[in-house]
Structure 1
């Protein structure tokens, strides 16, 4: 039986039915085959072992919210927001995409920031997009969303690579801190803030002929006393000239310092008022 890759939801449903019939004979359940995955994605069991650990304890958790478009109009710039509520002891957040050729997108350690991050990434085909949140007890809490796409986001060059302008802006950082505003019609006191950063970089995946992988791999945000506020590890699927948004429980005082590197050893070092 042939299942078109252009209809991944239909294909997954048909495969799930077939697997259910087989599992009835074998005395197993479909939930066992997919390890409880609500998307019944075949790559998930191997992804869990590869990125979270062979013996990792995982639970699908509605408190881990992943928001993205129903359809990715621009597969090279798919907006995603990950936020976690009422889950104590968060140590790190890992974002994974099942059907991308490079599945790991980023790893975020909030340190003293809130457990939320917004960014854009490249999507090769329709896929579940997941956030795995590790808490201090060693459990990974999994949330996700399904994004449809015409595909091709990982295998075409970015605009600055096409026109050659990337070399003139490489490593430049711009950003701004926005103070939280009260919700209209309420007496809520606004105490938080949001940091939005843009780093100029081509973020090449290495999947375009003649262009090797070239991407920002580490970022750290520090305060005026050089204390680390958050730590971010990024990978090839993050979009060209990436923009990140981070939330804080209170507005960071004074000047912020942004430091990082790319996989070629180029350094990023900027200060924001």
Structure 2
């Protein structure tokens, strides 16, 4: 059998194919982590998927305190007011927490999310991440580091010391406001009474709110849906800035915990 001979066009095609393969592999590789977290690549693959298109972005502004004075109540704000793309999904996690995932948020019904704020627990000093998926499937990651004495995930909730905690569970306090800076839209601010037990305290099983939905109170169309994990704080406080004029018709709030309990409320309207 005669050996295969590559003519010049065949050789060029082969070289172009190799170059394309190398470029594809290079583009699929995530960027290096400026914080040098040992969990960087693992958590990217776990929460964003293998081979995801990922880049660091200063358009995803992640605000956390430099030091967590209370490891059970650490405030976090994801500011997307300068994000130049459509927000398809927001995923946040704490690299070194026993359960890193904090929340996943998906805007719906053309209700853009400018800001989301939420409190979390932190087990030790860690880098915190917010990844935003745009309309083309690309992930934009903002990061910040929090110093902490730690122990927030394994600390018992205050509800454990209150024999009447069941009487207040599911109580929701909140209201609708105009966003800061005179922007159009609606700011939703609410707090729900719930122990949000992480399951990491002896003889206390996991008991936390897992799902949240914001709905148009008139049509019941979902404006945003959110899934929560064990890193959320007790009696969680939520803030959402939406490009949605919800103050006239009101916004309905729906939540469900892993015990099957459903909590509902209506804000505004």
With structure 2 as the length reference, what TM-score do the two structures score?
A: 0.83
Residue in 2 aligned with 1:28? none
Q: Equivalent residue of 2:113, what SS?
A: coil
Deviation at 1:181, TM superposition (A): 5.3
Is 1:47 aligned to 2:43, yes or no? yes
Q: Equivalent residue of 2:41, what SS?
A: helix
Q: Equivalent residue of 1:90, what SS?
A: coil
Deviation at 1:46, TM superposition (A): 0.8
Is 1:227 aligned to 2:221, yes or no? yes
User: Contact 1:73–1:149 (CA<8 Å) still a contact in 2?
Assistant: yes
Looking at structure 2, the residues matched to 173 and 113 of structure 1 have their Cα atoms a distance apart, in angstroms, of: 24
Looking at structure 2, the residues matched to 235 and 180 of structure 1 have their Cα atoms a distance apart, in angstroms, of: 27
User: Contact 2:30–2:55 (CA<8 Å) still a contact in 1?
Assistant: no
Deviation at 1:197, TM superposition (A): 1.2
Residue in 2 aligned with 1:161? 160
The list of structure 1 runs, each at least 4 consecutive aligned residues, that deviate by more than 4 angstroms after superposition, is none
Is 1:198 aligned to 2:191, yes or no? yes
Deviation at 1:250, TM superposition (A): 4.3
Residues 181 and 64 from structure 1, CA distance in 2 versus in 1: closer, same or farther, beyond 3 angstroms? closer
Looking at structure 2, the residues matched to 98 and 146 of structure 1 have their Cα atoms a distance apart, in angstroms, of: 10
Equivalent of 1:61 in 57, 62, 84: 57
Looking at structure 2, the residues matched to 81 and 60 of structure 1 have their Cα atoms a distance apart, in angstroms, of: 17
Is 1:88 aligned to 2:85, yes or no? yes
Matched residues, number:
236
Q: Equivalent residue of 2:145, what SS?
A: strand
Q: Which runs of 5+ in 2 are unaligned?
A: 1-28
User: Contact 1:179–1:251 (CA<8 Å) still a contact in 2?
Assistant: no
Structure 2 matches for 1:182-197, cutoff 5 A? 182=181, 190-197=183-190
Is 1:258 aligned to 2:257, yes or no? no
Is 1:73 aligned to 2:56, yes or no? no
Residues 96 and 63 from structure 1, CA distance in 2 versus in 1: closer, same or farther, beyond 3 angstroms? same
Q: Which runs of 5+ in 1 are unaligned?
A: 1-32, 183-188
Is 1:213 aligned to 2:206, yes or no? yes
More moved, 160-169 vs 144-153: 160-169
Deviations 1:139-197 (A, max 9, x none): 11110110000000000111112223331111121211112355xxxxxx542331101
Q: Equivalent residue of 2:72, what SS?
A: coil
Deviations 1:122-147 (A, max 9, x none): 00000001001111211111101100
User: Contact 2:60–2:83 (CA<8 Å) still a contact in 1?
Assistant: no
What is the aligned-residue RMSD (CA, Å)?
1.8
With structure 1 as the length reference, what TM-score do the two structures score?
A: 0.82
User: Contact 2:30–2:54 (CA<8 Å) still a contact in 1?
Assistant: no
Give 1 or 2 for the bigger CA radius of gyration: 2
